[in-house]
Structure 1
């Protein structure tokens, strides 16, 4: 994936989220939950795009058998 397409996707996601926050009447709690879900999804997607998700799966916490 090229850097230009990555930036374009991030811009589109940001604009869509801004449009939803501005023009869709919602309870502020629901808006904050929606914003958090979108940010977490974008961060996980970016980790996957840059190949860091596979290295996170190899981290072990605690005893190994």
Structure 2
């Protein structure tokens, strides 16, 4: 996947998150949970794109 596509996805997710936070009224607690879920999903997607997800999922504790 080209780097420009990855940056575009990150930018779009950031703008959508900003729009949701700015224009949709929510309780602060729900907003924090929503932001955390979106960031966690974006990080997992980035790990999968760069091929690091398999290495991390194979780690045993």
Q: Which runs of 4+ in 1 moved over 2 A?
A: none
TM-score (ref. length: structure 2):
0.96
Q: Which runs of 5+ in 2 are unaligned?
A: none
Quick one: higher RCO (CA 8 Å, sep 6+), 1 or 2? Answer: 2
Instruction: Report the aligned-residue RMSD.
Output: 0.6
Aligned residues: 61
TM-score (ref. length: structure 1):
0.90
Q: Which runs of 5+ in 1 are unaligned?
A: none
- Which protein shows a greater Rg? 1
Question: Greater helix share, 1 or 2?
Answer: 2
